[in-house]
Amino acid sequence: MGRVWVRSMFDAVADLGRQYLERSSKESQVASAAERCRDLMSPHGEASGTALAQEIVGLYRKMSEGERLAFLDMLANEWAPDSDRIKLAAEAYLKRADQDTLIALSAAAESPRQELLRRVNIAPGGTAMIIKMREEILANLDSHPHWRPLEIDLRHLLTSWFNRGFLQFARIDWRTPAVVLEKLFEYEAVHEIRGWDDLRRRLAEDRRCFAFFHPALPDEPIIFVEVALTRGMADKITPLLEPGTEDSAKEPPDTAVFYSINACQDGLTGISFGDLLIKQVVDALSSELPRVKTYCTLSPIPGFRAWLERTGPDSPLESFAHEERSMLSDPLWAEREMTRRRMQKPLMQLCARYLAQEKRNGRPIDPVARFHLGNGAAIERINWGADMSEKGLRQAAGMMVNYVYDVDDIVENHEAYVREGKVAVSTAVRGLLTQRKAAANGNGKKEAS
């Protein structure tokens, strides 16, 4: 109710301020928005400033893709820091390094567009516009490298505006407004929601869905996680998605399985929320369901097949016999029972190597592994035939992995990962690594570590 009142107030202020603005219908969208940006940074009263910000938001929404790129060019070029001012401030600081010269240098180094964007943000829809701007920038940064300082400014602002103090934690259930439930269809990227019956199943009594929201985007989840309450650790995805059974409903759960985590706003990429959400969910479930003692995931392994099939003399497939390589290249290999049995052991061994040992810059190359291991989880178990869907086979030959969040080990695992790049693994996974190394040495090949 409070958010609705605040939004109505800003709308009224903006409407009042429009009487002070002169608009030209002959201007292009970009030129018009650029002019209003200049006006917004000039001395205006609060009412006209809010109206200007709202007009900028409205113009941006109407722009074509080409116009939005031109608008971003304008922000990158016209609103960059003044290099001469920075130089003078730096020289003054070097001559006399005190509080005053440091403040002056900091003020000179901050680009004017940060203040411009803060003022745009006061308009209804301003935050959403800024998120969309960064989404557009990230999608086009390779072809527009001069946008990098602009992207850094946007990331700086959004990191401040979307810190934990502003995020609102909420459970999503069948009583949640439909406008929010519909967003789950749109943003679910791990396991597609196939209609309202499927969604109802995911919000049933033995399931939980939690999300972070932000006051500026009241109907837009920032990130959400789907949880299955089970007896024991799940090793296949299908039972978690299909309708429940009476037997499963009779036994109290002892395990919470995080089976789908979805970041919803591409413009917030690189701003971490997932670790905060998982910790919040564990706290919430611990209070609600004290019998639940195990917190784990059933996670995809999105980069395994691509890594497995890389070419070159160090290709993991080189450790396969020629016949095994031929089997794996057959698109229907997973439908043949004998082939699956033959491939199971070597593929699970290589998957353990991929998750625990294959690294870039000291961190696992698999993005999901980086996320959970960085949060203090351990690789508990690799599950064969866990996801036999077309996507599951394409990504990881049908395998999925359980990461376990053990409350007693989370801090130690996190510290070892951050300081030494050490990956926490269970005895079972360590056994797969040992078997793979022995097999490689037996074939006269050196196993990577």
Q: Which of 267, 297, 327 is the last residue of a domain?
A: 297
Report pLDDT for 47. 62
> Residue 237 carries which side chain, given as an amino acid letter?
I
Q: Which helix (H) or strand (E) holds 216?
A: none
Give me the CATH number covering residue 184.
3.40.630.180
pTM for this predicted structure: 0.84
Shared-domain flag, residues 221 and 241: yes
Task: Dump pLDDT digits (tens) for 72-85.
Answer: 999 999 999 999 99
Q: Which of 155, 70, 71, 173 is nearest to 111 (CA)?
A: 155
* Pairing mode, strands 207-213 and 168-171: antiparallel
Task: Dump pLDDT digits (tens) for 4-21.
Answer: 444 555 455 455 444 444
What is the spatial distance between Cα 174 and Cα 204, in angstroms, rounded to a whole number? 8
Shared-domain flag, residues 14 and 157: yes
- Which stretches of the chain drop beneath a pLDDT of 70? 1-27, 44-47, 244-250, 311-312, 321, 436-449
Contacts of 53 (CB under 8 A, 6+ apart): 14, 40, 119, 120, 121, 122, 123, 126
Task: Provide the residue range defining the domain that includes 330.
Answer: 304-442
**Looking at the 3D structure of the chain, how many domains does it have?**
3
Q: Which of 146, 161, 176 is the last residue of a domain?
A: 161
Give me the CATH number covering residue 109.
1.20.140.90
Two tokens, residue 147? 């946008």
Give me the CATH number covering residue 399.
3.40.630.150
What is the spatial distance between Cα 222 and Cα 131, in angstroms, rounded to a whole number? 11
